Amino acid sequence: MAEKQVFSTTLGGRPLTVEIGELAKQANGAVLVRYGDTVVLTAAVASKKATSADFFPLTVNYVEKMYAVGKVPGGFIKREGRPSETATLTSRLIDRPIRPMFPEGVRNEIQITNTVLSVDQDCTPEMAAMLGSSLALAVSDIPFDGPIAGVNVGRVNGELIINPTVAQDEESDIELTVAGTATAINMVESSAKEVSEAEMLEALLFGHEAIKELVAFQNEVVAACGKEKFELTLATPNEEIVATVKERYQDIMVAAIQTEEKKAREAAVEAVMEAAQEFFNDELGDAANKEELLKDVNTALHDLEKDEVRRLITKERVRPDGRKIDEIRPLSSSVGLLPRTHGSGLFTRGQTQALSVATLAPLGEHQVIDGLGAEDMKRFIHHYNFPNFSVGETGRTGSPGRREIGHGALGERALKEVIPSVEDFPYMIRVVSEVLESNGS
């Protein structure tokens, strides 16, 4: 049996311990994080070979176990089923700061699983899982440009706090999650009372100081028990193909992406793609690796498109549709579209359009959140639906995916602080946003 190694520090005035070498030894990397009485097991696994995917197949899962808070799952089956909304949002929260820390061109499947085994309500399992995800990757043999760390920041009576307790959270006028490396912040999520930019910047910098300490702690752990990294085969297009694509198609690609209307712009970019494929199909003749090189052409063209969009914005201060960076799309709105609903509104910004519908209900119809936190009553809900037709595509129709759940929560966080108190407005409120068109966010 492998020898267990234990490392300890403090976070937000509470003990933080990580244990390595005893559990989940079949994984590439595994860490047990103890934060107060919160316990999270994180395991990171990578496939040995690269997939044929044209994207980075990273999956982050945050798995809630009801036994962690001494509960039996509700319902007839009495076992955990599909992830809760909180679990989905936490998976996305951890994914965002970790994803950019891998080398460009990774095509190996990488899966990070955070299993919540015990919960101390004053020691957030979400931040323990983020630390565990980073450290499991860092001590593993999986190439990873971390570590990263994340903290919650609150403010009570003007004093900033790292990972506030439940009681402090209720009094806090800032609810901020910030993640990053020792040198930079790479993820921010927040809802707050109305606070100034200067106050929010102060909170961000305060959080980053704690992140630096957590990264230094992880580096000590890695120095003591980190594995040698294996070599990845990165999906990088042929250099000669990349150079030829840039030389022949840069100018016409710039012209294509500056087309104002979305459909016309897509058609113009597609025409460039087709012309390039036709040229290289003839140019490559009977080359043995022709199919692979044509894939490289496609990759090089997409990279060229992204690079030129970025260059136009950062260097020439012009957006792809020709607008200046401080020039907004045309805006319009109307209300009362649906006669039998409690409230409805249509908002259009350029070629993005959302129909939102509000429904009021007696307070007794509030949503009961029966998860790993204390049972909570939720009286304001925002749901977001993004059908395929909104971008002119076909696809599956069904229950909301991670993206829709995440975007619904984003809108909810923005609105919840300005919803009237239950004393002033004793009703349950549900708002559903149906995205009818999308061109940009």
The domains of the chain, with CATH numbers, are 5-225 (3.30.230.70), 239-314 (1.10.10.400), 331-437 (3.30.230.70)
In the chain, the amino acid numbered 302 is H
**pTM recorded for the entire structure:** 0.88
Give the pLDDT of residue 80: 87
Q: d(Cα 69, Cα 119) in Å, to the nearest integer? A: 6
Q: d(Cα 307, Cα 254) in Å, to the nearest integer? A: 10
Contact (CB, 8 A) for 120 and 38: yes
Give the pLDDT of residue 2: 65
How many CA atoms lie less than 13 Å away from 397 in the CB half-sphere? 6
Q: What are phi and psi of 161, to 5 degrees?
A: -135, 140
Q: d(Cα 54, Cα 42) in Å, to the nearest integer? A: 27
Q: d(Cα 373, Cα 390) in Å, to the nearest integer? A: 36
Give the pLDDT of residue 375: 66
Give the pLDDT of residue 341: 98
User: Over the chain (441 residues), what is each successive 10-residue block's mean pLDDT?
Assistant: 87 96 96 98 96 91 95 86 91 97 93 97 96 98 96 96 95 95 95 89 97 98 96 88 93 91 90 93 84 89 94 92 88 97 96 96 87 81 95 88 92 91 94 94 70
